[in-house]
Amino acid sequence: MYAKIEIIGRLGRKPEMKFTPSGQAVTSFSVATDNTYTSAAGEKVKETTWFRVQAWGKMAETVNQYLDKGSLVFVTGRLVADKATGAPKIYTKQDGTSACNFEINAGEVKFLSPNKNSSPVADEVAEEDIPF
């Protein structure tokens, strides 16, 4: 069995890179995707969905070095469910409303907009390279 998710969107903020206790790089970044449609009342509606993406190893280092807030990216990977519920992570926002967090372990990140340091496209990483 195999599941894969593909998204195209823009980074909501600068990527954050950390290291595991074993020294492996992991970079987290948020990506916003938009869907625009016309409602039954004839009004244009724009929906934004946010994804939290994690890149590992060499890809993590490349993403952290060359992407920035607003960068347009194409991400493929595996959707990660909340271990407790098997669903997206649900949380309560500061205003008291509920929201969910979709998380992706990146298998590939492609840069679709000019990046800050004129890098090549980020390296592909096979799922077997992800350490869990």
Position 116 pLDDT exceeds 70 = no
Whether 104 maps to a domain, the answer reads: yes
Whether 24 maps to a domain, the answer reads: yes
Position 48 pLDDT exceeds 60 = yes
Whether 130 maps to a domain, the answer reads: no
The CATH number of whichever domain residue 16 belongs to comes to 2.40.50.140
Whether 37 maps to a domain, the answer reads: yes
Q: How confident is the model at residue 117 (pLDDT cuts 50, 70, 90)?
A: low
- Could you report the per-residue pLDDT of 52-90, keeping only the tens digit for each? 999 999 999 999 999 999 999 999 999 988 777 777 877
Domain holding 25, by residue range, is 5-119
Pairing type for strands 98-111 and 89-92 reads antiparallel
The pLDDT value recorded for residue 108 is: 96
Give me 32's structure tokens: 């916003």
Whether 15 maps to a domain, the answer reads: yes
Q: How confident is the model at residue 122 (pLDDT cuts 50, 70, 90)?
A: very low
- The beta strand positions in 20-132, using DSSP E, are 25-38, 44-56, 72-80, 89-92, 98-111
**Structural domains in the chain (count):** 1
Whether 126 maps to a domain, the answer reads: no
Q: Nearest CA to 52 among 7, 84, 111? A: 7
Pairing type for strands 98-111 and 44-56 reads parallel
The pLDDT value recorded for residue 55 is: 97
Q: Residue 102 and residue 54: Cα distance in Å, rounded? A: 11
Whether 46 maps to a domain, the answer reads: yes
Whether 14 maps to a domain, the answer reads: yes
- Could you report the per-residue pLDDT of 17-47, keeping only the tens digit for each? 999 999 999 999 999 999 999 999 999 999 9
